[in-house]
Amino acid sequence: MGPRAVVIGPPGAGKTTIGRLLAQRLDIAFRDTDDDIVQTAGRPIADIFANDGEPAFRAMEEDAVAVALREHDGVLALGGGSVLSERTRERLAGHPVVFLSVGLAEGARRAGLSTARPLLAGVNPRATFKALLDARLPIYRSVAAVEIVTDHVAITEVVEQVVAALSARSTASS
């Protein structure tokens, strides 16, 4: 059966926040592959990046996404870089993938507000974020079934837009 929604997008787009609220709204379970990785590794993500390096993290992430896509039938939020894996992109085919987009200024602000994100911890997080957006935007779009712009949109409103987009999509395909 698979997840009812798989939420992708750059750091700060709101995948974790919106995904959790969307699951509540639909009365189904929520899962975030970043949490799965932390649980399996027994260490925070920043620690995995610092001690094992990004490629090791990406390998763990690829496995975590594959397992979650098999096991989870609620809302699944992925880490922002998970779609860099071609295998993951192949595995996402046919799933209801929701791309939450966010622009540079708002995304950098939001990502800086919350938990440690090792990729953005360098000297110029804004430039890093811009490079990340430029490289990944076409990738997010290539795997997404729907795209929701989140800049200057309240969290509750984003959730409602996702609900509407998913139900329009399921009506269209039935």
Ligand X SMILES: Nc1ncnc2c1ncn2[C@@H]1O[C@H](COP(=O)(O)OP(=O)(O)O)[C@@H](O)[C@H]1O
Ligand Y SMILES: O=C(O)C1=C[C@@H](OP(=O)(O)O)[C@@H](O)[C@H](O)C1
Which residues sit at the interface with ligand X, rule CB under 6 A?
Answer: 9, 11-17, 80, 110, 113-114, 150, 153, 155, 158
Regarding 11 and contact with ligand Y (CB under 6 A), the answer is yes
Among ligand Y, Mg ion, ligand X, none, what binds residue 45 when CB lies within 5 to 8 Å by partner kind? ligand Y
Is residue 4 a contact partner of residue 62, using CB atoms and an 8 Å limit? no
How many residues contact ligand Y, by CB under 6 A? 11
Closest approach of ligand X to the CB of residue 155, in Å: 5
Closest approach of Mg ion to the CB of residue 173, in Å: 28
Beta strands in the chain (DSSP E): 5-8, 30-32, 75-77, 97-101, 146-149
Closest approach of ligand X to the CB of residue 166, in Å: 17
**25 belongs to an annotated ligand binding site:** no
Among Mg ion, ligand Y, ligand X, none, what binds residue 3 when CB lies within 5 to 8 Å by partner kind? none
Strand partners, 99: 8, 147
CA dihedral 82, 84, 85, 88 (to 10 degrees): 50
**128 belongs to an annotated ligand binding site:** no
**103 belongs to an annotated ligand binding site:** no
Regarding 76 and contact with ligand Y (CB under 6 A), the answer is no
57 phi/psi in degrees, rounded to 5:
-60, -45
Give the chain's end-to-end CA distance (angstroms, integer). Answer: 16
Question: How many other CB atoms are there within 10 angstroms of residue 60's CB atom?
Answer: 19
**Of 102 and 166, CB closest to ligand Y:** 102
Regarding 15 and contact with ligand Y (CB under 6 A), the answer is yes
Regarding 45 and contact with ligand Y (CB under 6 A), the answer is yes
Encoded tokens for 161: 């837009």
Burial readout 4-36 (b: 16 or more C-beta within 10 A, e: otherwise): bbbbbbbbbbbbbbbbbbbbeebeeebbbbbbb
Residues engaged in binding ligand Y (CB under 6 A): 11, 15-16, 34, 45, 79-81, 117-119
What residues form the annotated binding site? Answer: 12-17, 34, 58, 80, 117, 136
